[in-house]
């Protein structure tokens, strides 16, 4: 049997011997779950009734929650929560969300388990180990229920963890990972600040509803005329995507991107797709030239928008705009981005929400001169470049942390 030691170990602990295998129940003073009955809600109550979806990125998110209970009701249902020893875990429906309890005024629903860690065990070490792939995989393999999945308290208590005997080693590992978490959080705040600034800038660079000039206008265009109203089809060719026959596998390969709504994320540009087409399959589609605007017009994600870095095809849920020469493609992208919610609201709601090509083509937008289009587009593109670089920086840090965790915790191979 391999030794129970991590691949990466701090030098001062190399002679401390193997890690111990312990069940989570042995490392805790108590493991329990939230309410199995519904409390009496009070809109003026100071305590929030929470479920597993409120556990996000290690924190309890309670802002804007409407289900409140008063202090008397909260005490009646009070659980043994301690801001120094309690970890919360989602166990019903959404499985595996984690958060520290930090004296928030909350009442737990039945979809949350609380784990009170013993004082001689580092809570941050346990928290990070519960986030490892090995533990998450074990939880998923032990779920019960058919429609709604559940993670039982028995499974949680019997989950084995490998921990150093020396509390100082636990703390050193936890502190290292916490430092990385703090760095990621700091960089994420910078990203949110950039996104907020961009949103505010867009509101000023484009005219408000019912107006024809923006609140903020570059000095060289202040004496220019009002922006001109155009229908979308007047600014570019509108192309609705289509799907080559899926029965013929020769239509699919690795030659061309085939973009669907799931490929569109928060980034401006798409450079990859989950499904790709062969040359044969691509010939059966309505080809989209690079640097066009892709707009989701069918389904629950109407309004998602992106630009394609390379020549591609899309499925029928996407309408693409290929701007004419006298319209700046980045400007059209930002106009549609700003109006995405408004466009989504005109969807015809039947079984599936949809904006057909005709409705999309007739959507009215305001357009300035080509030079002003370019100035606005360049300004916002510079911001998007900063946002993209910041996002990549955060992803790199997350990947670094993931790799570090794989080496700092003992894996099953070493067990």
Q: In the CATH hierarchy, which top-level class contains the domain 228-367?
A: alpha beta
Q: Please give the structure tokens belonging to residue 223.
A: 């004496």
pLDDT in tens, 292-328: 999 999 988 999 999 999 999 999 999 999 999 999 9
Q: What are the Cα distances from residue 177, in Å, to 89, 159, 171, 358, 397? A: 19, 22, 10, 53, 11
Matching residue, tokens 């060719």 = 237
Q: Which residue shows structure tokens 């978490």?
A: 181
| Contact (CB, 8 A) for 80 and 32 | yes
Token pair listed for 184: 């990621």
Q: For 212-264, what is each residue's pLDDT tens digit?
A: 999 999 999 999 999 999 999 999 999 999 999 999 999 999 999 999 999 99
pLDDT at 209: 92
Helix (H, G, I), strand (E, B) or coil at 177: helix
Question: Where do the domains of the chain lie?
Answer: 20-163, 167-221+368-415, 228-367
Query: Alpha carbon 118 to chain centroid distance?
Result: 33
Average pLDDT estimate for 65-93: 90
DSSP-based three-state secondary structure for 32: strand
Q: Which CATH number fits domain 20-163: 3.30.70.2190, 3.40.640.10, 3.90.220.20, 3.30.470.20?
A: 3.90.220.20
Query: Looking at the predicted structure, is the pLDDT value of residue 87 above 50?
Result: yes
* Length of the chain, in residues: 415
In CATH terms, are 20-163 and 167-221+368-415 the same topology? no
The top-scoring range by mean pLDDT among 63-72, 329-338, 351-360 is 329-338
What kind of fold does domain 167-221+368-415 have according to CATH?
Helix Hairpins (1.10.287)
Give the C-alpha separation, 333 to 306, whole Å.
Answer: 8
């Amino acid at each position: 049997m391999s030794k129970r030691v991590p691949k990466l170990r701090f030098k001062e602990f190399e002679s401390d011997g193997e890690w111990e295998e312990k069940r989570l129940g042995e490392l805790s003073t108590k493991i329990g779950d939230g309410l199995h009955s519904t409390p009496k809600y009070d809109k003026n109550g100071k305590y929030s009734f929470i479920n597993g979806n409120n556990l996000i990125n290690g924190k309890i998110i309670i802002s804007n929650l409407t289900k409140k209970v008063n202090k008397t009701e909260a005490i009646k249902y009070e659980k043994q929560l301690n801001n120094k020893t309690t970890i919360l875990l989602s166990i019903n429906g959404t499985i595996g969300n984690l958060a520290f309890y930090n004296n928030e005024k909350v009442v737990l629903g039945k979809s949350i388990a609380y784990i009170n860690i013993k004082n001689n065990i580092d809570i941050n070490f346990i928290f990070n180990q519960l986030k490892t792939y090995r533990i998450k995989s074990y939880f998923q393999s032990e779920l019960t229920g058919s429609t709604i999945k559940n993670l039982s308290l028995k499974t949680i208590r019997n989950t084995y963890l490998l921990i150093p005997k020396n509390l100082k080693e636990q703390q050193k590992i936890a502190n290292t990972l916490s430092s990385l978490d703090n760095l990621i959080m700091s960089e994420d705040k910078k990203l949110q600040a950039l996104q907020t600034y961009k949103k505010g800038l867009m509101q000023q660079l484009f005219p408000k509803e019912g107006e024809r000039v923006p609140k903020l206008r570059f000095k060289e265009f202040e004496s220019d005329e009002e922006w001109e109203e155009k229908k979308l089809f007047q600014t570019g060719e509108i192309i609705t995507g289509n799907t080559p026959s899926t029965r013929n596998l020769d239509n699919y390969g690795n030659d061309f991107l085939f973009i669907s709504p799931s490929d569109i994320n928060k980034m401006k540009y798409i450079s990859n797709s989950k499904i790709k087409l062969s040359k044969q399959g691509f010939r059966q589609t309505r080809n989209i030239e690079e640097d066009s605007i892709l707009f989701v017009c069918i389904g629950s994600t109407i309004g998602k928008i992106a630009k394609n870095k390379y020549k591609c095809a899309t499925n029928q849920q996407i309408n693409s705009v290929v701007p004419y020469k006298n319209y700046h493609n980045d400007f059209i992208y930002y106009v549609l981005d700003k109006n995405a919610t408004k466009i989504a609201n005109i969807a015809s709601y039947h079984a599936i929400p949809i904006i057909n090509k005709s409705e999309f083509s007739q959507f009215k937008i305001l357009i300035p001169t080509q030079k002003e289009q370019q100035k606005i587009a360049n300004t916002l593109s510079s911001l998007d470049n900063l946002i993209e670089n910041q996002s990549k920086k955060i992803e790199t840090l997350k990947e670094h942390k993931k790799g570090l965790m794989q080496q700092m915790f003992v894996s099953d191979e070493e067990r």
